């Protein structure tokens, strides 16, 4: 459901995606020869159904254009680093540890921040971050489910995580 | 900062470290790259904090899981699953 929701905006669409996916799973079960783990296979079907549906809804650029990601976005804004002086390219102001909450309430608040940040990621990053960090697939499983190379997977994961981190920094501060 | 006398790779700067932090966490580094990364961490509190932040991001993401799945949705899915199975009467999962 989470993966399906990453691609389509409405609850109803996501439900359709999941139903399609289930049918795909059931129809393909006989052909499924355990070449891959069931989980990987299942998520690749959900991903495919969701992409198909999202394309139909015209809410998604074709996936192939997303994996290339021609823009190279820095993980941390250049302004965070010293330009000149004694230590160029070192932290202008070093980050200090986040005061992480113990209380469930604030922990929940952070979860909401992370959830929203993941949802706001570009599609390729979103899918990889969701499969890897939220659903806990391994790197090889994710590559197989999405159909991308290890290197590509790592780039998308790197950029996605950097954006989520930046979102948390808006809440928790850079050097609190 | 330290000398690079017996280092094969040039010294790492914070600005570069943040771009290879995922390679480090993924174990996608050569041992020389790893050594250089860890040598920098040992002398740079800021980068240590940064690495910790990335681990926090991963940890919070991992706790999102499916707790948010709506009960109504679950029922609908189960219903559609059952109706698919019903006609043939055969358990597709075997």
Most B CBs within 10 A among A75, A120, A126, A176, hence the mutation to make, goes to: A75
Using one digit for the tens of pLDDT, what is the confidence trace for A114-134?
A: 999 998 999 899 999 998 998
Model confidence band, residue B35 (pLDDT cutoffs 50, 70, 90): very high
For B1, the closest chain A residue by CA position comes to A87
Among the residue ranges A76-90, A148-162, B20-34, the one predicted with the least confidence is A76-90
For B80, the closest chain A residue by CA position comes to A19
**Sequence ranges of chain A with CATH classification 1.10.10.10:** 99-172
Structure-model confidence comparison of residues A14 and A144, the more confident one: A144
Which CATH class name applies to A99-172? mainly alpha
A166 reaches B (C-beta below 8 A): no
For A:47-66, CB contacts with B below 8 A are none
Long-range contacts of residues A90-94, Cβ cutoff 8 Å, at least 24 apart? A90/B13, A90/B14, A90/B15, A90/B44, A90/B46, A91/B14, A91/B44, A91/B46, A91/B47, A93/A174, A93/A175, A94/A175, A94/B44, A94/B45, A94/B46, A94/B49
Which CA distances in Å does B16 have to A36, A89, A122? 36, 8, 23
Whole-number pLDDT of residue A34: 60
ipTM of the complex: 0.72
Which DSSP string do the residues of B31-88 spell out, in sequence order?
HHHHHHHHHHHHH-HHHHHHHHHHHHHHHHHHTTTTTT--HHHHHHHHHHHHHHHTTT
CB contact under 8 A, B84 and A26: yes
Instruction: Tell me the mean pLDDT in the region A24-41.
Output: 67
Structure-model confidence comparison of residues A134 and A32, the more confident one: A134
Residue B91: CB atoms within 10 Å: 7
């Amino acid at each position: 459901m989470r993966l399906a929701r990453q691609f389509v905006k409405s609850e109803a669409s996501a439900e359709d995606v999941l139903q399609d996916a289930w049918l795909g799973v059931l129809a393909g079960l006989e052909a499924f020869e355990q070449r891959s783990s069931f989980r990987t296979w299942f998520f690749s079907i959900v991903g495919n159904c969701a992409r198909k549906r999202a394309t139909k809804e015209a809410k998604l650029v074709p996936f192939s254009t997303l994996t290339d990601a021609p823009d190279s976005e820095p993980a941390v804004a250049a302004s965070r680093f010293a330009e000149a002086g004694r230590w160029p390219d070192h932290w202008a102001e070093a980050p200090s540890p986040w005061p992480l909450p113990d209380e469930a309430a604030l922990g929940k608040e952070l979860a909401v921040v992370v959830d929203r940040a993941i949802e706001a990621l570009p599609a390729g990053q979103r899918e990889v971050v969701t499969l890897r960090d939220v659903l806990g697939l391994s790197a090889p499983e994710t590559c197989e489910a999405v159909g991308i190379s290890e290197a590509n997977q790592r780039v998308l994961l790197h950029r996605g995580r950097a954006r989520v981190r930046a979102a948390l920094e808006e809440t928790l501060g850079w050097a609190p | 900062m330290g000398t690079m006398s017996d280092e094969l790779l040039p010294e790492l700067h914070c600005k570069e470290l943040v771009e290879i932090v995922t390679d480090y966490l993924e174990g996608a580094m050569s041992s020389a790259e790893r050594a250089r990364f860890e040598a920098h961490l040992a002398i740079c509190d800021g980068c240590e904090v940064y690495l910790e932040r990335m681990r926090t991001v991963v940890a919070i993401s991992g706790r999102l899981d499916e707790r948010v799945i709506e009960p109504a949705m679950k029922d609908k899915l189960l219903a559609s699953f059952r109706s698919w199975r019903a006609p043939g009467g055969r358990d597709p999962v075997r």
